[in-house]
Structure 1
Amino acid sequence: MLDNITLKDERRIANHELISEYIYTYRYPEEEHSLCQLEMRAFFNTDTDSNFIKSKVKVDPSRSPFMKDRIEVMYEGNSLSEIMEQVTKLRLGESTFSVSFINFKEMGNSKKISYKERNQIERDLGWKIDADFDLHHPDYAFGLIRLNDYWYFGEHVESEPVWLHHVKKPHSYSTALGTRLARSLCNIAVPDPEGISVIDPCCGIGNVLVEALSMQINISGRDINPLVTKGSRKNIAHFGYECDVTTGPIETSPEGYDVAIIDLPYNLYTHITQEEQLSILKHANRIADKVVVVTVDTIDHMVEEAGFQVKDRCIARKARFSRQVLVCE
């Protein structure tokens, strides 16, 4: 690294001369492991059984119900002393900062660090940075993490559990997708929202719509039941979002969408037939190039008959109830 560089210089180097590397930490219940990995593959084109992943892809950690932290790597080394030496080159001017040591649990082969030891390392590292420390409202938040006995330091972004704010809605159905699953589906379907148009043609009460809108995904909703679409509109407005939600069957839905997200109706709670399910998939192929389908049954034969191929999949479990998530193109 260069001597006495400012954070602005560091970012210039990262953005134009080098490709930044990001470290993401994860936390998930075992029953959602498969769903979490499918979301990883959508974001990063790879997955891991570990509770962290390194990538050159930048993602807002608040998008995922599983991500907890993101560190944009500025310095790295074989020891803490190497990091200590490198951060002395950083100049923040009048800006304030904070430092968080992320190893509050095991990370790869690196053991969990006790609170007392983490606190001491944060203080020692903070003394090396030529700026004022501010724990509560810093201009810059930095993170330190040790992975497999190697050390990384950089800007730290902590995930905000946005989806939790959407759990309580004015209108809800017991059969509706949970907010965590709905949010992950949006990420699987649209890892990068830029320029992507999306439709949920069986939107129900609007859980997918709310999560997508909270991530600035350009989405429209549609459902055959007018009472359901009325409730969906009220739920969307309740959280301060706006979305076009129309009433009608998928057969009359307009074409030209990049992605469709479909929680496929099924016999456990509706009287839909397999022929009607197949019709939904065929019309999904007409209106969108890519479809993410949620189903309780194995429908690979229907997917193929509708003209799609299953590109990726997972099992999303909740207690004894399981759904399949299929990425179809």
Structure 2
Amino acid sequence: MELRAFFGPDASGPVIKSKVDLDLNRSPFIREKIDVLLDGDTAADITKKAGSIDLGEKTFKVIFVKINDLLPHEKVEYGERMAIERAIGWEIVGEADLKNPDYLFGIVAYGGRWYLGRYRKNERVWTKHVKKPREYSTALSARDARAIANIAVPNPAGIRAVDPCCGIGTVLVEALSMGIHIEGRDINPLVVDGSRENIAYFGLEGNVTLGSIEDTKAHYDVAIIDMPYNLYTHSTPAEQQSILINARRIADRLVVVSVDPIEEMVQKAGFTIQDHCIAKKGTFSRRILVCN
């Protein structure tokens, strides 16, 4: 779902070619990317063209990207991968440095062609948010919360988001850390305090207020709702329906998470389901629905 949110409805792995200039560290799932500089029909074609890259006195390293769409009988073994890396390295103008290079270049096969470009690896910055001063076991994982924030707001520019049942702020922390303009709200004063503490702990700034979604007056581009279901904030089916109806009132789009089937409730509230998936954390399974 995150891939589709970033790159369009037809996006699927393991390799995607796109003109979208994505900050790699936003995603908890995308491992690496190449900013393409050269392409060719074969790795040998890339080697011939690599001499056009002039780094002066800067150092570099070439990496053969193992994740590609080569068929099983086309797979390149370790020795050949090393040979391709060396051949390209000989052509690039600069100084090779395998330990601490100024530039990393990656070569990958995709769609019957080969590509060489600046290589970047995901630094998994979201893992710093796993341990929070305030948390409970049934909360969304930091990984899932980050993906959900991305699904809701793939492009933050000019977008106002709200999490009106924010709990301890797992989604808020991930969204705020990515520069998403999001506000939080909850009817439970204990979790509101916990959310504020978690946000401040990571040096972030965000507005979290005490109150119900029914009392919300502002309008937002998108709402993210992890349906209340735990011992701290439980909701009945009627209360869940009210949450969804008010989400329709205050937001143009909705990304909703639920441990129970709520598709009928979502549609009754006036939303159309555009995409969906199941996320698991231990014994918990959650439905994630993207709605317009």
Class of the TM-score when normalised by the shorter of the 2 chains: over 0.9
Q: Which residue of 1 aligns with 2:59?
A: 96
Write out aligned runs for 1:278-293 (5 A): 278-293=241-256
TM-score by length of 1: 0.82
- Which structure 2 residues correspond to residues 1-329 of structure 1 after superposition, within 5 A? 38-47=1-10, 50-103=13-66, 107-109=69-71, 113-147=76-110, 150-266=113-229, 270-329=233-292
Pair 1:244–1:268, CA change in 2 (3 A): closer
Query: Aligned in 2, Cα 1:221/1:169: closer, same or farther, shift over 3 Å?
Result: same
Amino acid at match of 2:3: M
CA contact (8 A) 1:255 1:286 kept: no
Rate the CA distance shift 1:217–1:135 in 2: closer, same or farther, 3 A: farther
Letter paired with 1:199: V
Deviations 1:152-178 (A, max 9, x none): 101111111112111111111111101
The Cα RMSD (Å) is: 2.0
Q: Output the CA distance in 1 between the equivalents of 2:68 and 2:18.
A: 20
CA distance in 2, matches of 1:243, 1:267: 24
Q: Any unmatched runs of 5+ in structure 2?
A: none
Q: State the distance in 1 between where 2:129 and 2:10 align.
A: 27
Deviates more, 1:200-209 or 1:84-93: 84-93
Q: Aligned residue pairs: how many? A: 291
Note the C-alpha offset of 1:321: 2.6
Q: Distance between the aligned counterparts of 1:68 and 1:109, measured in 2? A: 21
Identical amino acids, percent of aligned pairs = 54
AA aligned opposite 2:71:
N
SS in 2 for 1:146: strand
Q: TM-score, normalised by structure 2?
A: 0.92
Per-residue CA deviations over 1:266-316 (Å, capped at 9, x if unaligned) read 378754111100111111112111110001222222112212111111111
- 1: CA distance between counterparts of 2:231 and 2:258? 11
Distance 2:102 2:149 in 1: 31
- How many Å apart are 1:148 and its aligned residue? 5.6
